Structure 1
Amino acid sequence: MRMLNVFDIVKLTKIDHKEVDSNQIVVTDGNGKPNAVLTELLNDVVGNMRIFLDMTNIYSVTDLMQALSDHTPLPAEVLDEYEKVLREPIDGINFVPKRGQVEVVVGE
């Protein structure tokens, strides 16, 4: 059985029937402590996805990386970092309604 990864959560999660925006998703550890590096990287990925792509026909990290490569001027090393965070397996999801945020829980 394949574990869910960060991409799956970005693709599947909606808040008020809208795709999550870059400021609505935070990467945390199991105790809820934010991971600033991964959060910033993920926010950058999500921001570029929303600007440049229609996610309707994107179903995998591979599809997303190809679309970003085709439709953005991002260099290969940036796309490699995006791919790493998107493939990160998740341990859980925590919804924070008061802040309109989704915490993606990853291992340490």
Structure 2
Amino acid sequence: MPTIFTILKFVSVNHQPMASSQVIITDTAGKPNGLLSDLVHDLINDALLFVNLADLDTPDELIAKLHEHTPLPNDVLDEYGKILTEPCFGLNIAPQKDTVEIVVHR
């Protein structure tokens, strides 16, 4: 089953990695999850500046690289690890809103 890590790694918009403003985490009914969306936005905006997802195979590798190359505290890295391994049950592309909705069961 794909996870948020695999979605962030393999889904692109116009051949570019997704920008945080393009990503929304939703439940299966399409209701946005603000907390998870904000966490993914932080991950994209802050943490992914230090690593290239194309060079990594697992969320654990990403967390290890962030631990090596950033001053992020362990509790933040733990939260990133949890969100990266969250199973995804679908994608909804909303071109009129310029968003990619990642569907999770939360």
Compute the TM-score of the two structures, normalised by the length of structure 2.
Answer: 0.94
2:74 equivalent to 1:99: no
Output aligned runs, 1:8-23, within 5 Å.
8-23=6-21
Following the alignment from structure 1 to structure 2, what is the Cα–Cα distance between the partners of residues 56 and 106? 23
Gaps of 5+ in 1: none
Q: Deviations over 1:71-108 (max 9, x none)?
A: 11100000000110110101111011112211000013
Gaps of 5+ in 2: none
Compute the TM-score of the two structures, normalised by the length of structure 1.
Answer: 0.93
Q: Which runs of 4+ in 1 moved over 4 A?
A: none
1:79 corresponding residue in structure 2? 77
* Aligned-pair Cα RMSD in Å: 1.0
Partner amino acid, structure 2, of 1:37: L
Offset of residue 16 of structure 1: 0.4
Output aligned runs, 1:41-60, within 5 Å.
41-60=39-58
Offset of residue 25 of structure 1: 0.7
Partner amino acid, structure 2, of 1:71: H
* Paired-residue identity, %: 38
Q: Deviations over 1:20-49 (max 9, x none)?
A: 011111100011110000000011111124
Q: Deviations over 1:32-70 (max 9, x none)?
A: 110000000011111124321222211210111011111
